[in-house]
Amino acid sequence: MAQLAGQPVVILPEGTQRYVGRDAQRLNILAARIIAETVRTTLGPKGMDKMLVDSLGDIVITNDGATILDEMDIQHPAAKMMVEVAKTQDKEAGDGTTTAVVIAGELLRKAEELLDQNIHPSIVIKGYALAAEKAQEILDEIAKDVDVEDAEILKKAAVTSITGKAAEEEREYLAEIAVEAVRQVAEKVDGTYKVDLDNIKFEKKEGGSVRDTRLIRGVVIDKEVVHPGMPKRVEGAKIALINEALEVKETETDAEIRITSPEQLQAFLEQEEKMLREMVEKIREVGANVVFVQKGIDDLAQHYLAKYGILAVRRVKKSDMEKLAKATGAKIVTNVRDLTSEDLGEAELVEQRKVAGENMIFVEGCKNPKAVTILIRGGTEHVVDEVERALEDAVKVVKDIVEDGKIVAAGGAPEIELAIRLDEFAKEVGGKEQLAIENFAEALKVIPRTLAENAGLDPIEILVKVIAAHKEKGPTVGVDVFEGEPADMMEKGVIAPVRVTKQAIKSASEAAIMILRIDDVIAASKLEKDKGGEGGSDFGSDLD
């Protein structure tokens, strides 16, 4: 509200909250840092887990940064930006979500120190942008080229990404599954590999142990055979994929059929039966002994299919149909009449099996399947969910290396190298930006420091030791949290795709810069609460 010649001018509605200048920056930085602190304890092999309970009482237990932030009901707009950092990291690199958020939080903490010294946000932003750009160059320099055909390297990266998650007891076994799955679906395009993760299907079933998780070279479908008279097991399967209902079609427009005598009714029913039999005859004629139908199958059609010993499954999801096509080499046919023997796919075995008391269809033994399924087992629902998250991360990490062919040491080694090199770079830049670049470098040390803290070690002592060893022995020296000493992470097999570290620094610096740019927050009043409570924004209240 402003005064104009004694008249009040109302610009914003009642109940609006506004924070300007340092207040806005302080609140935004605080909110973002709280988010970073929340996930910080989950970082590394010795990180702890979080239990999240939603409004319905559903429980999620995880230490996956992206999952934690996704499950939290976050209100503050600056805090929501940190959630976006984790989501972007998960989408682009697949792993390192916690790293990205922790770095973003530390960058903001270091920026606040500069703002308290009356350094203008624009200078901090410029310094951070220079540092982030230089960091990408340094990472390209220290990244090591690897042979993407080398399964051992891929396995080490997968093991590194699984370590610290609930499934780590079986990390070697799960890493092998992840590597095998990615190598199976990888396709060479113009000399480089491309991996479409949609071709790796995760199917979860409680029961058994994590060790019972396995890779199926084909597709597992959570459906059952439609008719009890059909075979439950077909060897040497010839598979037809039909995107049409095996039913008598209804007319497109509203139509009325007038039947005036029993003979006409009989003829009508016989015609329907004939049409259905012809459909089934066509399937049998081309040599198919297994049929997957995206839509429904009429009872009569089921009867004929069972009579001819054809295994049929109905209402199969479109995504599963596409995976079946990729795995078996079959073509999806929209009209049964167009079906030919060339359209059929092949599999050594199609079988209905009971998994955890439920029927599932296994399509196995495909020649060179470009779609595979990982059947995940575990003692409880929470274990199965966490194994799935661990495997998803592992699969994405292997994909990154297969596509890029570049790795870096993990365990805080790249962050220490960046901190040392950016300190030198800051001196070259000079001016007030030098301070911002030095603070950026200092912020990156939060990763090795947090790894040490989460392992119950003295972070300052470890950091001093690791930096000294790093300067002496090179950029692969990081924190060995099991021994509590500096160690060469490459030798230990603790490695990560360079894409993970590059994306983490890119996402973190961009988010920090965006939050630092904000100097005015105008929060509209909330709508009246359902329980007759007062309106008014709670922009600041969730920080109290």
- Which residues contact residue 249 at a Cβ distance below 8 angstroms, ignoring those fewer than 6 apart? none
Catalytic residue among 38, 42, 62, 98: 98
Q: Does the annotation count 530 as an active-site position? A: no
Catalytic residue among 41, 49, 62, 64: 64
Q: Does the annotation count 338 as an active-site position? A: no
Q: Cβ(442)–Cβ(110) under 8 Å?
A: yes
Catalytic residue among 38, 62, 97, 160: 97
Written as six digits, the tokens of 492 are: 């230990």
Instruction: For residue 42, give the amino acid letter.
Output: T
Angle, helix 121-142 to helix 433-444, in steps of 10 degrees: 50
Q: Does the annotation count 98 as an active-site position? A: yes
Written as six digits, the tokens of 73 are: 């009901």
Catalytic residue among 95, 385, 393, 400: 393
Q: What is the DSSP letter of 521?
A: E
Phi, psi at residue 291, to the nearest 5°?
Answer: -130, 130
Distances (CA, A) of 281 to 24, 299, 350: 73, 15, 21
Host H or E run for residue 331: none
Q: Does the annotation count 150 as an active-site position? A: no
Looking at the DSSP bridge assignments, the partners of residue 201 are 373
Q: Give 155-215 as a 3 state SS string.
A: HHHHHHHHCCCCCHHHHHHHHHHHHHHHHHHCEEECCEEECCHHHEEEEEEEECCHHHCEE
Closest CA to 204 of 358, 50, 352: 358
Catalytic sites, residue numbers:
64, 97-98, 393
